[in-house]
Amino acid sequence: MDLATLMNLPFGYVLPFLVAITIIVFVHEYGHFQVARWCGVKVEAFSIGFGREVFGWVDRHGTRWKFCWLPLGGYVRFEGDANAASMPGQEQDQSQRGPGDFHSKPIWQRAAVVAAGPFANFLLAIFIFTAAYSIVGVPYSEPRVDEVMPDSAAQAAGLQAGDFIRKVDGKDTKSFAEVQEMVWQQAGVPLAVVVERAGSKIELTLTPRIQELPDGFGGTLKVGLLGVRHNPGTDEPLYERYSVPEALAKGLERTWYIIATTGRYVSKLFTGAESIDQIGGPIAMAKGAGDTASSGGLAFISFVALLSVSIGLINLFPVPMLDGGHLVFYAVEALRGKPLGPNAQEWGYRIGFSFVVMLMLIGIWNDVARTISVVLGS
């Protein structure tokens, strides 16, 4: 990437990113909003973005809908909230709170309102995947090996160009992408592989080797690779369309796969098995949005689904300020029979805010470092 390419970021990267993040934030906040309305909570404001308002309007229920100048998030403010993080106001006691006050509602209703945001993100991803699988279909290439890399796990196991990989670890494989997904999380694990060669079935044992690959967000991921290549340009385009029930099942499966993969990465991050250098910020996300948008509509909406699941999952982390932190507070309240004191909650939010800011700064620092590295290396 040279300087001229970087100058085109507002059109090539930033615009797709803003479209993606606006959709995801709106769906997330609408989840909070709708369940709050069902629970009789008065919603004072629904904001896309932070900071000064650019434009907005008031609906018939008295909710201020607005777009703000920093479109990197959003919030829903309920009656009784002291701020956008939904801290309870301290100027009123319980007897002074109105019927639409969020903090006067039963714990289960408050928990439902809070959990509805991440849940809406998961539903968005499931809807996108289901629609894509049923309308367009899943593009795939046959699991054919076109090239075996020298000094690779595949070469060591005796895999040859022209082989078709029919099974990995006892599971049938229909596409080359399925083979990749099966071995990515199995670095260093011996796998039983069945290949078809000249009409005959041959059983081999391969052990994927660890390698770092770009993650699409400007960082890298450590994955297991066999060391084979497939040339999709030699194939006719293949799409497998599914009925709506089948597409829904696959959409659920795909969403869970993203959740599980992200969860494994985060657990490795906290145990030191993964480096914080792989954390990306807004520049990395913008690059991912731009790259997928340039690849076509299907790739872009798949990116939106991926990002939606990731944001929903991150919001469930037990960190004050995030939705997961609120759920922890409600769990403590249910066990104690009363909420935590104002000072404990305030310190919790301060710690949570510091943690979120730290992650954002790490992501931005990594983004800037990668950008400088790319420019200097061009």
Quote the Cα angle for 122-127-129, to 5°: 95
| Residue 149 CA from chain centroid, whole number | 32
Q: Which amino acid is at 162?
A: G
Provide the 10 A C-beta neighbour count for residue 337.
Answer: 6
b/e burial code for range 315-336 (CB count within 10 A of at least 16 → b): bbbebbbbbbbbbbbbeeeeee
Would you call 133 exposed, middle or buried from its count of C-beta atoms within 10 A (0-12, 13-18, 19+)? Answer: buried
Report residue 160 as tokens: 């040859």
Report residue 289 as tokens: 């949005």
Instruction: Give the Cα separation of 39 and 184 in Å (integer).
Output: 44
Would you call 3 exposed, middle or buried from its count of C-beta atoms within 10 A (0-12, 13-18, 19+)? Answer: exposed
Pair 41, 110: CB distance under 8 Å: no
Q: Which amino acid is at 287?
A: K
29 in catalytic set: yes
Helices (H), the chain: 3-7, 9, 15-38, 107-131, 153-157, 176-184, 244-271, 282-295, 297-315, 323-336, 342-377
Would you call 24 exposed, middle or buried from its count of C-beta atoms within 10 A (0-12, 13-18, 19+)? Answer: buried
User: CB within 8 A of 336, min separation 6: which ones?
Assistant: none
Active site residues: 29
